[in-house]
């Protein structure tokens, strides 16, 4: 499902003397449907960078990232947007809130984007919000003013609203209480069971051991200092 | 899929000075493209060349017309271009006064565009105008007021209603939120975002506000000194800018 070969990344800081910082070289990774792979490595090793490259947020300097036949490293913006709508989901650590949109619509939006019936999508969103223990009186409000933990759960509900064949999870269980952590782990297990290919960053070791089939240490992708 | 707009090597010079040059891109149906850059970078010149307000010195601007497919709007006849700008195109000016008729009522401003494409039944025109005022959150009881009695934010929303009432396929926007205070901006942006998604519009938005493009645009074009220096997916250009100027632009935004 996800096939990464010889991936390279460097940052060029034009406004700081043109410094070139190589951060990744020769990254190889493949994930099969129904498999969950954890990225590990110390802070700054490049876990988030790799996730952003897979999602098309960061450009790659070399190599390829094949997801369902689309090479994200070379695709046109509209191909990446289509991939993000239909194939590749991303649960980031922070919710990017659009002012004035009610929570239930924020969660249902990925379903609207693929043309699901509006009422069915909203019903599905309500179900997820209830599962993640967001009080019903908050559903019609914008999540702008919610607490950090609530925003994160809204973000997770949104990420799991549509059944993406491939998913990227950036610390999905961070800062959640035991009950909600359990709900999120169940959601991940259900996604695996329906055949989703998942790449995740989990600092929570117990969670990682429970849902992940393999670990990849991204330190091995770090280029040696010249 | 046929692009809705195909732009090839468009250039515009003001005497010896470059307005914009070497601009080429394809815009597909449903895509929203942002054009960012500092003032004087040629973004408004480019927008005006694309919308037929300025004659480019060279290049082609091909639009996918309903009857004849891709057709160069630079060389098409004036009546034909005017018809396009009344039906398939819309232009939202930075200053609402440039896009409204200040001496005509709000309803009249919206209705005028309907009449320009052949609507004649007064009752229908009025009810459509009221429907659109509602969509841009202007109360029905303001339908007979003149825009000069409206606040800046309301004028801008009225201009949007006037432009979208005929169901255009391509909307040009020149700093649509410029000069409005932030709370009005947020409301307008949310409104625009909803309308663009619901109606499946394609749009080209010129702005210097990176937060606006992050919210509205799928892809981005960065201009400097009349040239395009970087293009790509909006979040990619903003999160991992490649060109020196884009890096400067992104790092210069003040954090709130």
**pLDDT at B177 > cutoff 90:** no
Query: A59 vs chain B: nearest CA distance in angstroms?
Result: 7
pLDDT recorded at residue B255: 66
At A82, list the tokens. Answer: 């289509």
Q: What average pLDDT score do residues B192-215 get?
A: 86
Q: Is the pLDDT of residue B41 over 80?
A: yes
B230 in reach of chain A (CB within 8 A) = no
Question: pLDDT confidence of A17, banded at 50, 70, 90?
Answer: confident
Q: Output the pLDDT for position B72.
A: 94
Q: Which of B197, B233, B248 sits opposite A77 (nearest CB)?
A: B233
**Chain B contact for A120, CB < 8 A?**
no
Residues of B in contact with A52 (CB under 8 A): 239-240
Nearest to A25 by CA among A52, A7, A47, A1: A7
* B181–chain A Cβ distance below 8 A for any pair: no
Distance from the A206 Cα atom to the nearest Cα atom in chain B, whole angstroms = 32
Length of chain B: 256
Asked whether residue A3 carries a pLDDT value surpassing 60, the answer given is yes
The mean pLDDT of B238-253, rounded to a whole number, is 91
What is the per-residue pLDDT for A148?
A: 86
Residues of chain B contacting residue A77, judged by C-beta atoms under 8 Å apart = 218-219, 232-233, 236
* pLDDT score recorded for residue B137: 87
Chain A to chain B Cβ contacts (< 8 Å) = 51
Averaged pLDDT for residues A45-63: 93
Which residues in chain B are contacts of A112 at CB distance < 8 A? 197
Contact B31 A78 (CB under 8 A): yes
Neighbours of B252 (CB within 10 A): 10
**Looking at the predicted structure, is the pLDDT value of residue B256 above 70?**
no
Would the CB atoms of B189 and A99 count as touching at under 8 Å? yes
Mean pLDDT, residues A40-56 taken together: 92
Q: Are A29 and A37 in contact (CB under 8 A)?
A: yes
DSSP-assigned letter for residue A187: H
Q: Is the confidence at residue A26, as pLDDT, over 60?
A: yes
Is A16 in CB contact (< 8 Å) with chain B?
no
Q: State the pLDDT at residue B39.
A: 86
From chain A residues 45-64, the ones with a CB under 8 A of any chain B CB are 52, 56-59
Query: Could you read off the pLDDT of B90-145 as tens digits, one per residue?
Result: 999 999 999 999 999 999 999 999 998 888 999 999 999 999 999 888 999 999 99
Contact A15/B at CB under 8 A:
yes
CA distance B54 to B174: 14
Question: Is the model's pLDDT at A5 over the cut of 70?
Answer: yes
A90-94, B23-27, B177-181: least confident range: B177-181
Kindly report the average pLDDT of chain B as a whole number.
91
pLDDT at B35: 96
Residue A63 gets the label, from left (phi > 0), alpha (psi -120 to 50) or beta, of left
Closest CA to B99 of B107, B111, B109, B89: B109
Instruction: Compute the nearest-CA separation of B123 from chain A (Å).
Output: 31
- pLDDT at position A225, please? 58
pLDDT tens per residue across span A84-140:
999 999 998 888 777 778 999 999 999 998 989 999 999 999 999 999 999 999 999
Distance from CA of B242 to the nearest CA of A (A): 7
- List, in sequence order, every residue forming a beta bridge with B204; answer none if it has no partner: B33, B172
Q: Are B243 and A78 within 8 A, CB to CB?
A: no
Burial of B139 (0-12, 13-18, 19+ CB in 10 A): exposed
Nearest-Cα distance to chain A for B116, in Å, is: 33
pLDDT at A218: 92
Q: For residue B181, what pLDDT is reported?
A: 77
pLDDT at B209 over 70: yes
Mean pLDDT of chain A: 92
- Cβ contact B236–A58 (<8 Å): yes
Q: Contact B219/A77, CB-based, under 8 Å?
A: yes
Q: By percentage, how much of chain A surpasses pLDDT 90?
A: 79
**A133: which 2 tokens?**
């223990």
CA–CA gap between residue A32 and residue A154 (Å, rounded): 28
Q: Say how far apart CA B9 and CA B6 lie, in whole Å.
A: 10
Lowest average pLDDT, out of A40-49, A90-99, A113-122, A192-201, goes to: A90-99
Please tell me the predicted confidence (pLDDT) of residue B106: 95
Question: Is residue A226 predicted with pLDDT exceeding 70?
Answer: no
Please calculate the CA angle B59-B62-B66 and round it to the nearest 5 degrees: 165
> Which of these ranges, A24-38, A87-101, A185-199, has the smallest mean pLDDT?
A87-101
Read off the pLDDT of each residue in A147-151 and give the average, rounded to a whole number: 89
């Amino acid at each position: 499902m996800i096939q990464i070969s010889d991936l390279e990344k460097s940052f060029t800081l034009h406004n700081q003397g043109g410094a070139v910082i190589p951060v990744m070289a020769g990254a190889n990774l493949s994930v099969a449907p129904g498999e969950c792979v954890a990225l590990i490595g110390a802070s700054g090793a490049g876990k988030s960078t790799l996730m952003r490259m897979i999602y098309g947020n960061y450009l790659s300097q070399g190599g390829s990232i094949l997801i369902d036949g689309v090479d994200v490293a070379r695709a046109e913006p509209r191909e990446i947007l289509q991939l993000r709508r239909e194939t590749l989901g991303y649960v980031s650590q922070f919710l990017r809130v659009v002012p004035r949109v009610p929570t239930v619509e924020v969660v249902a939006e990925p379903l609207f984007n693929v043309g699901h019936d509006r009422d069915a999508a909203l019903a599905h969103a309500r179900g997820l919000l209830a599962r993640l223990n967001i009080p019903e009186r908050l559903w019609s409000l914008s999540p702008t003013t919610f607490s950090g933990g609530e925003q994160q759960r809204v973000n997770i509900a949104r990420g799991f609203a549509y059944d993406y064949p491939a998913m990227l999870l950036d610390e999905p269980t961070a800062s959640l209480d035991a009950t909600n952590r359990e709900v999120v782990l169940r959601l991940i297990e259900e996604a695996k069971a329906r055949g989703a290919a998942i790449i995740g960053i989990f600092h929570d070791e117990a969670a990682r051991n429970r849902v992940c089939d393999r670990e990849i240490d991204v330190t091995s992708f770090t280029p040696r200092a010249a | 899929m046929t692009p809705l707009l195909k732009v090839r090597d468009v250039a515009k010079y003001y005497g010896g000075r470059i307005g914009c040059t070497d601009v080429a891109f394809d815009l597909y149906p449903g895509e929203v493209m942002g054009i960012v850059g500092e003032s004087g970078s040629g973004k408004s010149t480019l927008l005006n060349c694309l919308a037929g307000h300025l004659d480019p010195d060279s290049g082609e601007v091909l639009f996918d017309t309903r009857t004849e497919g891709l057709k160069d709007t630079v060389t098409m006849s004036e009546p034909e271009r005017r018809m396009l700008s009344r039906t398939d195109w819309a232009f939202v000016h930075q200053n609402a006064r440039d896009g409204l008729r200040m001496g005509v009522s709000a309803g009249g401003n919206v209705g005028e565009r309907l009449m320009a494409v052949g609507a004649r039944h007064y009752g229908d025109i009025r009810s459509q105008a009221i429907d659109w005022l509602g969509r841009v959150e202007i109360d029905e009881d303001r339908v007979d007021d003149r825009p000069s009695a409206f606040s800046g934010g309301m004028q801008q929303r009225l201009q949007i209603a006037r432009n979208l009432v005929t169901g255009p396929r391509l909307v040009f926007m020149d700093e649509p939120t410029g000069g409005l205070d932030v709370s009005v901006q947020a409301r307008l942006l949310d409104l625009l975002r909803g309308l663009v998604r619901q109606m499946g519009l394609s749009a080209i938005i010129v702005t210097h506000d990176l937060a606006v493009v992050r919210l509205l645009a799928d892809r981005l074009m960065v201009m400097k000194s009349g040239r395009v220096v970087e293009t790509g997916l909006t979040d990619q250009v903003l999160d991992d800018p490649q060109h020196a100027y884009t890096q400067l632009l992104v790092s210069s935004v003040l954090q709130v």
